[in-house]
Structure 1
Amino acid sequence: MSTATVPRRGARPAAADVWVVVLSVALLWPQHRSGYGLGHDMVFTPHQPFTLDSLGLGSASPRAVPLDALVAIASKLVNGAVLGRVALAVPLLLAGWGSSRLLGARSLPGQLAVAGFAVWNPFVVERLALGQWALLWAYGALPWLIRAADRIRRGDGSAAAIAALVCWLAACSITPTGGLLGAAVAVVLAWSRSLRRTALVIAAAVLLQLPWLLPALTSTAAATSDPRAVAAFAARSERPGGAVLSLLGLGGIWSSDVTPASRGGLLGYLTAVVVVAALVLGIPVLAGRWGGGLSVRLMALAGAGFVLAAAATVPGPAAIVRWTVSEVPGAGLLRDGQKWLLPFAVLAVLAAGAAVDRIPRVVPAAPMVLAALSLPLVLLPDAMATLRAPLTPVRYPAEWSRAARLMGSGSSAGSGGDVLVLPFASYRSFDWAPGRSVLDPAPRWLAASTVVDDRLAVSGVLLAGEDRRAAAVATLLDGAATAGSPAPGSGTARSGRQPASRLAGLGVGWVLVEADTPGPRLPDLSALRPVLTGGAVELYRVPGQVRVQPGSGARRWTVILADLLAAAALLAAVGVKAGLRPGACYTRR
């Protein structure tokens, strides 16, 4: 067996570290303005409430679990404006610093190349533009997780090694997709002949997935998804040549709205060529530096991720994915294919640094330093322009805070019941948040469970949701919808029939109307009691006895127990790490 190891932490690559900071600041520059992050799937509010929905115990599929719970807890300590900026910056810094240390480049150009490409590449920019910062936490944690898993595979079964793996795997697991990717990397890379070490890694991987896995398994929401979503969210060809070529260039995200314009031309092709060349030249360097065990396993993971990302774009495999999504519970995670490119992106970054690291032997160092600094910027020159609109913070109209206070005050407005949010659509387009569509912010503002439409409209196709109560509300609203006059201040028509008497039977005690956003016609709300009207947000009370939605106490306590076990494992790992002397975790064996 090869004695090569992942390089230990030695002299810090100071220049590369500074370069990571510079590039991260450049990408996140719009965040220097005051306000809160709100763009596409990213929603930050002043203080996100902690509700049963945060734990995945609502009627909707637990897609943002345990992420919502973590944000809600953190926002009790830090204002959401600060929290949002930290949440975006940390994964970029982790990715750059972690990739630099994992590669252990021996030359300054190699250090700068791996650090810069880790932060500034199409995969990172497109996911940032889509607001999927939580997935980028998995991307940022992966280099560190690879180091920890490889230590364990090589025979280090100490508490320090296990604690490091648990900490980085927990960072991956704040979202289900990141958790699955992190668990796969941890188990595959740490697998060894030692049953004890392997069992510990598998146990840790399973335990840290329980906070989202148990709510998903016990949810009242439909377990399967609309198969049409496979084509809607499949990797997209950004230019002639097909989606596979776009994936080779670390792009191909399904939404054209967040794709940098440069991906559609010559630079898109050039990026794919650079990635392929980096893999060809760099992988032998990685194999020689790490040994065959780690490099082969990491290539296998990257290859599997690439195949999964491309599957929905090829007729035969696409049919298999559609069948899986429609028939296998939980397989809806497969529908956004391009996100599975994440391990391939990490390998491409490392290979790029390794390829540059071998070139300075025959090329003067100064030109190589300049090339390493400029290559990511040349390949993706419009990264900052792409992120300007979705990352520019917004200021919520004052009515949002007033509505949240009224609902949580227990005042004469009343209390109890869930909140129906209108217009009944999942995404919004507000005048005060220009240049972007945004996920409905109401669930991150209100201290009661919200009923929102979980159907998604993609390219004119309305994809079925999984929330059965939301489907019942949609049926009620559709049945009440008739031609009507525009709603005051909203530009959205109100229908003529009154579904209010049936809302209480569905457990709805409040109706929140978000004005100035397109959406379906609003029902007649004249039978409801106005609590807040005339502004950006209107709040109404549903009269009558609100029917409490039945919930399983056993399910609730099972999920809470799983959350506590996962939290205890993470806190124990952090405690072990905090009790170690500096540098003890990185001693060369």
Structure 2
Amino acid sequence: MQVSTARAVALPLLVVAASLRSLGADGYLIQVDSAFGPRIATSHVSFYAPVQLLVDALQVVFGGQWAGRFYAAGTLFLVGFAAMVLLRRLPWYAQMCGGLLAMLNPFVYDRLVGGQWGVVGAIAGLLFVVAAWRRMRDHPGRGSAIAISAAIIATLMFSADFAGMLFVLGIGLCFFSSMWRDPKFRLWTLTGLGATAVIALYGVIPFVFGTGPGTYTQVASFTVADFASFRTTAAPDLGVIPALIGLYGEWSERLATYVVADQQYSWWFVSAAALSACAVIGGLFSGEHRWMLGVGVIGIAISAVTATAQGLQWMTDIVHQVPIVAAFREPQKWDALWLVALIVLVPAAISGASGQIGRSWATRRAIASAMVVVVLAATLAPSGWTALLDTSRVVTPVQYPSSWYAAATFMAHGVDPRVRVAVLPWHEYEELSFVGRPSADPAEVFFPGTLAVSSDPELPGAPASDPIEAASRSGLHCALAEALRGQGISITLVLQDTIDGAQTADALLTCGFAPRFTTTDVVVLRDTMT
């Protein structure tokens, strides 16, 4: 194994061990956008299906407790590994600075604590795309074509939302980092891209013709409420653009469920400005990658588009004409392009400045050392140490209470698995006491049977997406019971360990439902009127 490759493995492993040291605790990972339990979640045919199949296989072999750990730790490792593979030709100190920057930044931190581990994996995919393209330019051939195709498909598998970013990045690579006059480069590049287009049909076809989550049908249903809810979060006192330059701004920062460095440290922008300045210097010294500054700026601009009332109106008007644009309802993901630019250009600044400024070896060494210190300080303070200290406080396994296991045993033996059972309260996200913060409702990965669960995020200003949700919001007496009957549901599983769980159970008990099983936190009710 080459020394640069060994570093590409060792450094990410160390960062993963430090950031996710909490994974040694017993229990399952339950985050805002990911929940694991003893059962495998229902999957859908989509771009994400191969990743879901891999996670399911891990759960079959190792159990849900370990599948979540492997997924979270694996994607964090992958983004660091991808960065260091891309930078392997640079001096070791520049390579390691790039690896740390790739893993310890606010963009990755926000997604990691929120359970958006597919997004973290997609960032690694973008880095692998750049690395594969560079390989094609230097060594065009079958292996390089396979590498390009695999990197693009892997990015889409982790997050189909990155399709637009792949397009913008690909345009930059085609125009500024290619050798189209070389017939061998032209042949194998077009072959790789053609193969990618064919392989991608496995996700395109169900997106276009399917129904349900992750399809065009769902995307076309998004409204202005979606764009308003998922808009970029402004930095305190500075606004949206500085937040995006610093790789902050993810919508969940507004929930205040985890520590965010730009809200804790008033001087955070000094570090962001230092890294940005290094990226500009890297662009000056590295003509090969100077174009990535433009790609990064495009990412920042798109990320900010819905943060203003005018931008929100523009996006709404565009979506009315071109509904598929609604797939990018969370525009801050485009800030990933700026992150990729930083990962490439900041190490290039360290390497380029040390090699082009000063004639003596001592001078070059002093310059390189000074830049390494600046980059490390700007990476670690404050966002890096926030990630190192606080990731483990949020990404922590929790144990399901014994009452849940008792209810699951009853469901397995006392309820026909073919009968639909509604999980109430009817929320996609719950705040369970044993989790301690808002999270995805984990009932589907815990209880056996055919479960009917909510897929409505209940965004402010958005209409109810189904009759049960509409009845839940109405507050009318027996409206929920009638809605359940209208859907042919006669059995409900009520999680009383939630904000409105006990109230929901009481409402059904007064409208013809009776308990079949009761524990401290869970009650199973049956409709006596059907």
Q: Same fold (TM over 0.5)?
A: yes
CA contact (8 A) 1:55 1:211 kept: no
Deviation at 1:277, TM superposition (A): 0.4
The residue aligned with 2:360 is none
Shift of the 477–263 alpha-carbon distance from structure 1 to 2, 3 Å rule, reads closer
1:455 correspondence with 2:491: no
The residue aligned with 1:377 is 380
The alignment's TM-score, normalised by the length of structure 1, stands at: 0.75
Counterpart selection for 2:202 from 210, 230, 242: 210
Counterpart selection for 2:500 from 494, 519, 535: 519
Shift of the 279–507 alpha-carbon distance from structure 1 to 2, 3 Å rule, reads farther
The residue aligned with 1:269 is 269
The residue aligned with 1:506 is 487
Counterpart selection for 1:497 from 462, 478, 482: 478
Counterpart selection for 1:336 from 330, 333, 349: 330
Structure 2 distance, partners of 1:279, 1:77, is 44
Deviation at 1:71, TM superposition (A): 2.9
Structure 2 distance, partners of 1:88, 1:196, is 35
Q: 3-state SS of the aligned residue for 2:83?
A: helix
Deviations 1:443-475 (A, max 9, x none): 3334555433333356xx24346x5xxx11123
The residue aligned with 1:425 is 427
Deviation at 1:406, TM superposition (A): 4.7
Structure 2 distance, partners of 1:373, 1:19, is 14
Deviation at 1:503, TM superposition (A): 2.6
Counterpart selection for 1:306 from 281, 287, 300: 300
CA contact (8 A) 1:176 1:212 kept: no
Structure 1 distance, partners of 2:404, 2:325, is 36
The residue aligned with 2:521 is 536
CA contact (8 A) 2:80 2:100 kept: yes
CA contact (8 A) 1:48 1:71 kept: no
Structure 2 distance, partners of 1:446, 1:16, is 41
CA contact (8 A) 1:235 1:243 kept: yes
CA contact (8 A) 2:274 2:374 kept: no
- For 2:26, give the aligned amino acid: S
The alignment's TM-score, normalised by the length of structure 2, stands at: 0.82
Considering only aligned residues, what root-mean-square deviation do their CA atoms show, in Å? 3.3
Q: Which moved more, 1:28-37 or 1:174-183?
A: 174-183
1:153-552 to 2 correspondences below 5 Å: 156-158=140-142, 160-172=143-155, 173-178=157-162, 181-182=165-166, 185=169, 189=173, 194=186, 197-198=189-190, 200-205=192-197, 207-208=199-200, 210-211=202-203, 214-215=206-207, 217-219=209-211, 222=218, 223-254=220-251, 255-256=253-254, 257=256, 260-264=259-263, 265-287=265-287, 291=288, 296=291, 298-325=292-319, 328-361=322-355, 362-364=364-366, 371-380=374-383, 381-407=385-411, 409=412, 411-434=413-436, 436-446=437-447, 448=449, 450-457=451-458, 461-464=460-463, 467=465, 471-478=466-473, 481-482=475-476, 496-497=477-478, 500=481, 503-508=484-489, 510-519=491-500, 521-522=503-504, 523-525=507-509, 527-528=512-513, 530-541=515-526
Shift of the 452–285 alpha-carbon distance from structure 1 to 2, 3 Å rule, reads farther
Counterpart selection for 2:92 from 96, 101, 108: 108
- For 2:301, give the aligned amino acid: V
The residue aligned with 2:32 is 40
Shift of the 39–102 alpha-carbon distance from structure 1 to 2, 3 Å rule, reads same
Shift of the 68–90 alpha-carbon distance from structure 1 to 2, 3 Å rule, reads closer
Shift of the 153–464 alpha-carbon distance from structure 1 to 2, 3 Å rule, reads farther
Stretches of structure 1 lacking an aligned partner (at least 5 in a row): 1-8, 57-61, 483-495, 546-589
Structure 2 distance, partners of 1:11, 1:190, is 31
Shift of the 370–241 alpha-carbon distance from structure 1 to 2, 3 Å rule, reads closer
Deviation at 1:433, TM superposition (A): 1.2
Q: Tell me how many residue pairs correspond in the alignment.
A: 499
Structure 2 distance, partners of 1:167, 1:120, is 26
Stretches of structure 2 lacking an aligned partner (at least 5 in a row): 181-185, 356-363
Deviation at 1:64, TM superposition (A): 6.9
Shift of the 439–311 alpha-carbon distance from structure 1 to 2, 3 Å rule, reads same
Structure 2 distance, partners of 1:177, 1:121, is 20
Shift of the 69–164 alpha-carbon distance from structure 1 to 2, 3 Å rule, reads same
Structure 1 distance, partners of 2:454, 2:189, is 45
1:63-78 to 2 correspondences below 5 Å: 68-78=52-62
Deviations 1:61-94 (A, max 9, x none): x797565454334312221221111111222222
CA contact (8 A) 2:302 2:331 kept: yes
Bigger helix share: 2
Q: 3-state SS of the aligned residue for 1:225?
A: coil
- For 2:114, give the aligned amino acid: L
Shift of the 167–509 alpha-carbon distance from structure 1 to 2, 3 Å rule, reads farther
Structure 1 distance, partners of 2:48, 2:524, is 26
Shift of the 383–200 alpha-carbon distance from structure 1 to 2, 3 Å rule, reads closer
Q: 3-state SS of the aligned residue for 2:304?
A: helix
Q: 3-state SS of the aligned residue for 1:139?
A: helix
Shift of the 413–352 alpha-carbon distance from structure 1 to 2, 3 Å rule, reads same
Deviation at 1:182, TM superposition (A): 4.5
Structure 1 distance, partners of 2:324, 2:210, is 11
Q: 3-state SS of the aligned residue for 1:77?
A: helix
